[in-house]
């Protein structure tokens, strides 16, 4: 399982160059300042991030405004990264659901809104609540483009088939009685059906659901039968023709999707050294994430969780890959200090297995890489001179080729390498301005069909460069200071 990784860094800063299929679970705006999942916008890390991204005007905003300011640029980036046939699932509670829906409509487009999925997050109601017991959470679902994502149907369970019977021993198997009436008035579907004994069966008020020709065909093949007294008709819908269950936007069966208390138990089984007060208050159960992932094709799915918390998303992906041999991949991003000790550690234990004796849980197998976010390569659209030249070379190579950088064996120190018959050069000196001129071209010994050269300036005209198969790209830095 390659290409699976965890990033420890500020969520919005570490997501560039990713194309993904589904889901994020942001911190709910409760004002909580506890150890795990500090969602309070007065946290120093959040304030620093707001200062960099939102600006100083974010310092005096209300908690709701600050929370939205934190979310807005991240959602803008997630929208850009979302695959054309992907969907994003954003879990939230009542505190910010209305506000979040407004900014999501703006960012993703109101026509890309799919549903507000209601998930029962509590396994029992809170009898100590003064007004109402808060038993559910929202999950807003959006696609990249209107109609761009269609969920797969859920596999049928035994309980879905209980109303299918076969009282007449039809060789086509169990069936149930379908509604024959058109949902809307259709004058052209108002016709009589004549029973074998001559009884006239009149159309219902709105007319039949199907045409006369189709219904006569079903009468002939026994899909439509007559009641014993031949005063009405019955259409059979056969179990064998039902491919699956269309997803509902109400998930109320906690046995099917888990609940918050169940999710805490999952964590405590993995981290036996922790007390219940030391784990997340409202983590997501793996069953809930697995249910979401079941609606996606597994072959090429990349799941990005930009608020990865306890690592439930990775756990769910690993479980499903083990169960069906899938090749789903996960990308987790977490900015808090527990990214290593909780998020990554959970994934490691799930892969290797955890627990002892009768409580031992077999590992799922798989692997992942762990990264910590370094210095930004660009500051205000200019190169960050504090970053090493080799890191900049790696970045440029990846942006151009989307492949890992392997330093070329070279006599020319500015040569990055060749990809798809194109040679790449990064003509950069930290303390002086570089100029793409004929003198530099004379140093190029490598033979390529095309050449891309990064430099500060170019003294050769575009027409001449084009004739030589050369593309000049300006290095983004303030050369007036050199």
Determine the pLDDT at residue 238.
95
Q: Which residues contact 52 (CB under 8 A, 6 or more apart)?
A: none
Is pLDDT of 16 > 70? Answer: no
Percent of the chain scored above 90 by pLDDT? 55
Determine the pLDDT at residue 31.
53
Determine the pLDDT at residue 52.
57
Q: Provide the pLDDT confidence category of residue 186 given band limits of 50, 70 and 90.
A: very high
- Burial of 401 per CB tally in 10 Å (0-12, 13-18, 19+): middle
Cβ neighbours, 10 Å, residue 349: 18
Percent of the chain scored above 70 by pLDDT? 86
Instruction: Please choose, from the candidates 37, 3, 19, 10, the residue with its C-alpha nearest in 3D space to the C-alpha of residue 279.
Output: 37
Is pLDDT of 49 > 70? Answer: no
Instruction: Please choose, from the candidates 246, 253, 339, the residue with its C-alpha nearest in 3D space to the C-alpha of residue 8.
Output: 339
Cβ neighbours, 10 Å, residue 131: 5
Which letter, b or e, does each residue of 43-70 get, where b requires 16 or more Cβ atoms within 10 Å of its Cβ?
Answer: eeebbebbeebbeeebeeeebeebbbbb
Supply the DSSP string of 341-367, one letter for each residue: IIIIHHHHHHHHEE--GGG-EE-----
Euclidean distance between CA atoms 142 and 76, whole angstroms: 13
Euclidean distance between CA atoms 111 and 373, whole angstroms: 35
Euclidean distance between CA atoms 272 and 278, whole angstroms: 11
Digit-coded pLDDT (tens) for 455-482: 999 999 999 999 999 999 999 887 666 5
- The reply to whether CATH 3.40.50.150 applies to domain 5-151+245-372 is yes
Digit-coded pLDDT (tens) for 365-392: 999 988 887 777 877 778 888 888 998 9
Indicate the pairing of strand 450-455 with strand 422-426: parallel
Region 142-166 average pLDDT: 90
Digit-coded pLDDT (tens) for 413-458: 999 999 999 999 999 998 899 999 999 999 998 889 999 999 999 9
Q: Find out whether 413 and 402 touch, Cβ atoms under 8 Å.
A: no
pTM (predicted TM-score): 0.72
Q: Tokens at residue 81, please?
A: 């990264």
Backbone angles phi, psi at 369, to 5 degrees: -115, 150
User: Which residue bears the tokens 């509590």?
Assistant: 122
Axis crossing angle, helix 312-324 with helix 260-270, rounded to the nearest 10? 80
Q: Find out whether 327 and 4 touch, Cβ atoms under 8 Å.
A: no
Indicate the pairing of strand 136-143 with strand 113-120: antiparallel
Cβ neighbours, 10 Å, residue 391: 14
Q: Find out whether 357 and 331 touch, Cβ atoms under 8 Å.
A: no
DSSP 63: H
Determine the pLDDT at residue 459.
96
Axis crossing angle, helix 63-81 with helix 44-53, rounded to the nearest 10? 60
Cβ neighbours, 10 Å, residue 374: 13
Determine the pLDDT at residue 282.
77
Domain-wise residue ranges, the chain: 5-151+245-372, 158-241, 378-481
Determine the pLDDT at residue 480.
65
Is pLDDT of 195 > 90? Answer: yes
* Residue spans of alpha helices (H) in 109-249: 212-221
Task: Give the chain's length.
Answer: 482
């Amino acid at each position: 399982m390659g290409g699976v990784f965890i990033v420890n860094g500020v969520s919005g800063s570490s997501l560039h160059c990713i194309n993904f299929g589904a889901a994020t679970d942001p911190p709910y705006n409760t004002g909580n300042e506890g150890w795990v999942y500090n969602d309070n916008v007065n946290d120093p890390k959040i304030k620093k991030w707001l200062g960099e991204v939102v600006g100083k005007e974010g310092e005096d905003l209300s908690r709701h405004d600050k929370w939205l300011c934190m979310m807005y640029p991240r959602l803008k980036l997630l929208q850009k990264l979302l695959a054309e046939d992907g969907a994003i699932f954003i879990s939230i509670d009542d505190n910010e659901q209305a506000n979040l829906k407004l900014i999501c409509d703006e960012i993703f487009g109101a026509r890309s809104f799919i549903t507000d999925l209601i998930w029962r997050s509590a396994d029992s109601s809170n009898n100590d609540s003064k007004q109402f017991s808060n038993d559910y959470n929202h999950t807003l679902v959006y696609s990249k483009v209107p109609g761009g994502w269609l969920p797969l149907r859920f596999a049928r369970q035994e309980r879905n088939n209980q109303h299918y019977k076969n009282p007449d021993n039809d060789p086509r198997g169990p069936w149930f009685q379908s509604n024959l009436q058109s949902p809307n008035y259709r004058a052209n579907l108002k016709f009589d059906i004549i029973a074998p004994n001559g009884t006239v069966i009149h159309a219902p008020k709105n007319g039949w659901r199907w045409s006369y020709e189709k219904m006569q065909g079903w009468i002939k093949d026994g899909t439509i039968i007559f009641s014993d007294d031949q005063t009405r008709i019955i259409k059979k819908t056969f179990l064998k023709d039902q491919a699956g269950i269309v997803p509902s936007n109400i998930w109320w069966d906690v046995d099917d999707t888990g609940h918050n208390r169940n999710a805490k138990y999952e964590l405590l089984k993995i981290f036996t050294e922790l007390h219940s007060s030391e784990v997340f208050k409202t983590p997501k159960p793996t069953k809930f994430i697995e249910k979401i992932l079941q609606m996606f094709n597994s072959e090429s799915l990349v799941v990005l969780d930009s608020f990865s918390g306890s690592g439930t998303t990775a756990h769910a992906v690993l479980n499903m890959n083990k169960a069906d041999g899938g090749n789903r991949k996960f990308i987790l991003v977490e900015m808090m200090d527990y990214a290593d000790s909780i998020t990554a550690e959970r994934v490691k234990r799930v892969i290797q297995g955890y627990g002892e004796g009768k409580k031992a849980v077999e590992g799922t197998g798989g692997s992942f890489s762990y990264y910590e976010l370094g210095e930004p390569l660009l500051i205000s659209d200019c190169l960050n001179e504090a970053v090493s030249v080799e890191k900049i070379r790696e970045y440029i190579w990846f942006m151009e080729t989307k492949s890992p950088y392997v330093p070329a064996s070279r006599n020319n120190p500015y040569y990055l390498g060749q990809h798809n018959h194109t040679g790449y050069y990064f003509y950069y000196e930290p303390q002086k301005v570089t100029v793409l001129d004929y003198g530099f071209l004379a140093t190029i010994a490598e033979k390529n069909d095309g050449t891309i050269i990064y430099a500060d300036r170019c003294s050769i005209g575009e027409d001449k460069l084009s004739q030589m198969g050369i593309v000049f790209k300006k290095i983004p830095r303030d050369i007036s200071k050199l």
